[in-house]
Amino acid sequence: MDYQVIAFWLLSFITLGSALSVVFFTNIVHSALALIVTFLGIAGIYLTLHADFLAAVQVLVYAGAISILIVFGIMLITRGDGKMAETNLFGKYKYTAAIVVTTLFGVISYFIIRTPWSIETAALSENTIGDLAEILLADYVIPFELAAILLTVAMVGAIVIAREVKNPK
């Protein structure tokens, strides 16, 4: 077997296993830690697809920043000593969730099976970051600057909400 195939199976096993642990752990902090492993597994899958910059972004943003945000979110909750059942208000809709998830799984699987996956034979770029820089700073200038505005708006919005929580009127 090819190295790439072995790496893919190993990484998908880690990713799916830790994703299942996120759902099945009863302590919410353990779930958050398992989520970080899931993010790292996805970063590994990006590496097998030769998307090394995307993998670095995945590690920095998801495994680094998003998981910190989630852990801080958990730290701000005081209910029930981190027991998942007491913090999840929607836990009782078991059958509704089963129907929704099965339907979603069916729809996604249907489109995956229907899509004609063509294999690109062109040589892959060795310098993905350099190519990305040229595209981002030449052809996609407006979306690039819009990303800055989006980040600023998101930060201002979050501060407005958090200030309201901090000093309630």
Partner 1 sequence: MLVQYTIIGILFLGALAFGAFTIILSRLLQPHRPYPEKLETYECGIKTQGTAWVQFKTSYFLYALVFLVFDIETIFLYPWAVKFQSLGLFAIIEMFIFLIILIIGFWYAWKEGALEWR
Segment lying near partner 1 (by CB under 8 A), choices 15-23, 43-51, 90-98, 103-111: 43-51
Under the binding rule (CB under 8 A), the answer on residue 20 touching partner 1 is no
Find where tokens 């078991």 sit: 94
**What whole-number distance in Å separates Cα of residue 56 and Cα of residue 61?**
8
Q: Which is nearer to partner 1, 61 or 85 (CB)?
A: 61
How far is Cα 162 from Cα 160, in angstroms, rounded to an integer? 6
Tell me if 159 contacts partner 1 by CB under 8 A: yes
The number of CA neighbours under 13 Å toward the Cβ of 124 is 11
Bridge partners of residue 83, in order along the sequence = 27
Residue 25 interacting with partner 1 (CB under 8 A) = no
Distance of CA 102 to the CA centre of its chain: 21
What span, in angstroms and rounded, lies between the C-alpha atoms of 71 and 140? Answer: 34
Shortest spacing between CB 150 and partner 1, in angstroms: 10
Residues that bind partner 1 (CB under 8 A): 3-4, 7, 44, 47-48, 50, 52-53, 56-57, 60-61, 64-66, 68-69, 72-73, 75-78, 81-82, 126, 129-130, 132-134, 136-138, 141, 144-145, 147-149, 151-156, 158-159, 162-163, 165-166
